[in-house]
Chains A and B, each alone.
Chain A
């Protein structure tokens, strides 16, 4: 369906995927707040969350939508960190040790999957620079 990331790692493809993530996540964002919390709140109110006094539409409007918002942002963070590494556009580390590691990683002929496995150490790499 889409060109394999190993062959198409252009900024254009990176952007296209980013936009696709954004569209999907914003669709969920719309459904939980404007859909469940507003447009269909009246009919969802017929349903009770089992074991509580919450009518479902009211719960979505005052609780559920907010929880989903938080989850959406963190899902986007994870997806984008992975995408950044897959396309080699994540931020350059200025710390010498991390630069060496990055070079080693980039010379490996692998797609996003390779980036992901090596990515476990990325959070650690960031720290020296964050405090500089």
Chain B
């Protein structure tokens, strides 16, 4: 079978599976729709969380990013896993005990304030939409490259699938579909990784293989890669070029942002018990770690393969995948010195005589994972599998985000803020309608992304870190934090972070260099500063304003003790 036939078969089979699950797990009540009836097994929830969390960016872009950044790519690896420790130790069990349906629900109740609730709703919708547009784009790219349909049509097909199971099944449908999507995506990620590891190092376990010796030359693979980098004028692969403080700040912003993202937090509301919430975070991280520890190995294999198959070779001899990606515009070659060979070199490169060499090749780093099986000449079915995996990653995350948007509208805004008389059936209908609208908006953003969307996606973490995280943590660990402190903290944190990002990315992009940044912290890492400001402002303002009413103290005490979780909602179920 050809690559195209395999891709069609595998993608169609995976879509049929998702639809089947959606029909089997329809939601019958708002309780099902919002939190899957709180009956999800912790291991299943861990898998669903992993699929929810690992987006098109993790699956498609991350290994590529790391392979271009080397050590500096570690910020993503540590940043996007370390947040689960914070979740498990500081947030998940308490929020589960509290038993809310959404993050704004908790913020509104704990800080006894509609203003705080609405601020939280706005933050949640903003963070989720910026994120979901990127997912839809990922769906479009996979479709256009592998199935040879236009990006727009690809997005429409993806929207149709998400629409079907998110609108019909709500959280329940999404949860069980995500379990299936996790299995598809992890299989699709590890199979090529194992193949590559065997080919290059002879070791079937990629996590160990990339520290081993290269099968061809017998030297350690990382040493060989550092050597190639030096030869071609790139910085050494295993050492960074970013400043230590910046790496520190970016890692912290990603970690804390992970723990503050509403679509991740909401997953811990779906398990039956407090202790399930704790262990579920552990399982989620196990499932995430399977991909995240393989990614740096894939990055090293991809980088080595790329440098050895492309650099210095004649353009006319390039294999088929090279020209195929060229037609998508994601690889571009310009023969600057007219010698017919591809000089793919770093800024420090020189030719034999010491004259500087110019780089002639630009490669979009998003394609590394997708092109890897072809570069390594893996069997056709593996290539098709990667396409199905990329789609699973993008669709599962999109569905989780859309659910946050729909519950924010139907529950936080309608039911809790503006129309408290709405019936259960009315609320469920409202949830379905808002999910449908959210799918349409997300699809539009995916087909026709305004220029700023792609830029903003990377900053969703900084925004989540600087708005939600301090307020959630203090809501559990401090009884003294009051309404005034929480609102002032959220507003100051997110304003500072957003202003810094907007200034350097849109107002004055020319100044976006290390010497203009505060303390050398890039816009990617500013969320950490915003978070610290949020903490400081919240605590200071709380000290200067009246303490919260007595029932809040009791609410916090109750939240800290596991016993009694879930009883509040049992009548509805």
Please give, as numbers and ranges, the residues of chain A lying within 8 Å of B293 by CB-CB distance: 62-63, 66-67
Q: Cβ of A69 and Cβ of B71 under 8 Å apart?
A: no
Asked if A76 and B78 sit within 8 Å, CB to CB, the answer is no
**Known contacts A29-B85, A73-B85, A73-B88; A53 and B272 CB within 8 A of each other:** no
Q: Which residue of A lies closest to B239 (CB)?
A: A45
A45-61: CB near B (< 8 Å → 1, else 0) gives: 10001001111001101
Query: Given A53-B212, A53-B220, A67-B293, are A84 and B89 also a contact pair (CB < 8 Å)?
Result: no
List residues of chain B with CB within 8 A of the CB of A29: 82, 85
B89 touches A26 (CB 8 A): yes
Report, as a range, how many residues of chain B touch the other chain: 35 or more
Inter-chain contacts of A92 with B (CB < 8 A): 563-564
B residues in contact with A76, CB < 8 Å: 88-89, 278
- Give chain A residues whose Cβ lies under 8 Å from the Cβ of B272: 129-130
**Number of A-B residue pairs having CB atoms within 8 Å of each other in the complex:** 148
Q: Fill in one digit per residue for A22-36: 1 if any B CB lies within 8 Å of its CB, else 0.
A: 100110010001100
- A81 and B289 contact, CB distance less than 8 A: no
Give the Cβ gap from A32 to chain B, nearest Cβ, in Å.
9
Residue in A18, A26, A58, A92 with the greatest tally of chain B CB atoms within 10 Å: A58
Q: Is the CB of A67 within 8 A of B281?
A: no
**B282–A74 contact, CB under 8 A?**
yes
A77 and B239 within 8 A (CB)? no
Nearest B residue to A80 via CB reads B278
The distance in angstroms between the C-alpha atoms of A121 and B255, with both chains bound, is: 36
Residues of B near A15 (CB, < 8 A) are 560
Is A63 in contact with B296, judged by CB distance below 8 angstroms? yes
Q: Does A37 contact B (CB under 8 A)?
A: yes
The chain B residue with its CB closest to the CB of A81 is: B275
**CA of A54 to CA of B285, assembled, Å:** 23
B267 nearest CB across to chain A (Å): 15
* A87 shortest CB reach to chain B, Å: 9
- Assess whether B90 is in contact with A22, with CB atoms less than 8 Å apart: yes
* Shortest distance from the beta carbon of A36 to any chain B beta carbon, whole Å: 10
Bound Cα distance from A29 to B212, whole angstroms: 27
Closest-CB distance, A93 to chain B (whole angstroms): 10
Contact between chains at B278 and A77 (CB < 8 Å): yes
Choose among A22, A25, A52, A69 the residue that contacts B81 (Cβ–Cβ < 8 A): A69
Main secondary structure of the interface of A (DSSP, over half): helix
Interface size class of A (residues with CB under 8 A): 35 or more
Q: Are A55 and B285 in contact (CB under 8 A)?
A: no
Q: Contacts A52-B220, A66-B77 hold; do A90 and B82 have CB atoms under 8 A apart?
A: no
Q: Are B282 and A73 in contact (CB under 8 A)?
A: yes
Pick the residue among B82, B239, B278, B286 that contacts A42 (CB under 8 A): B239
Which residues of chain A have C-beta atoms less than 8 A from B296's C-beta?
Answer: 62-63
Q: How far is the CA of A38 from the CA of B248 in the complex (A)?
A: 7
User: Contact check: which of A80, A126, A130 meets B39 at CB < 8 Å?
Assistant: A130
How far apart sit A49 and B222, CA to CA, in the bound complex (Å)? 12
Q: Which of the residues A34, A58, A62, A84 comes within 8 Å of B275, measured between beta carbons?
A: A84
Between A and B, 9 residue pairs with Cβ closer than 8 Å are: A22-B89, A55-B238, A70-B286, A73-B84, A73-B85, A73-B282, A77-B278, A92-B563, A130-B41
B residues at A contact (CB < 8 Å): 39, 41, 66, 71, 73-74, 77-78, 81-82, 84-85, 88-90, 93, 207-208, 211-213, 220-223, 238-240, 244, 247-248, 251-252, 255, 272-276, 278-279, 281-282, 285-286, 289, 292-293, 296, 477, 557, 560-565
Task: Rank and list the top 7 A-B pairs by shortest CB-CB distance, nearest first.
Answer: A53-B220, A61-B74, A52-B211, A73-B282, A62-B296, A53-B222, A54-B211
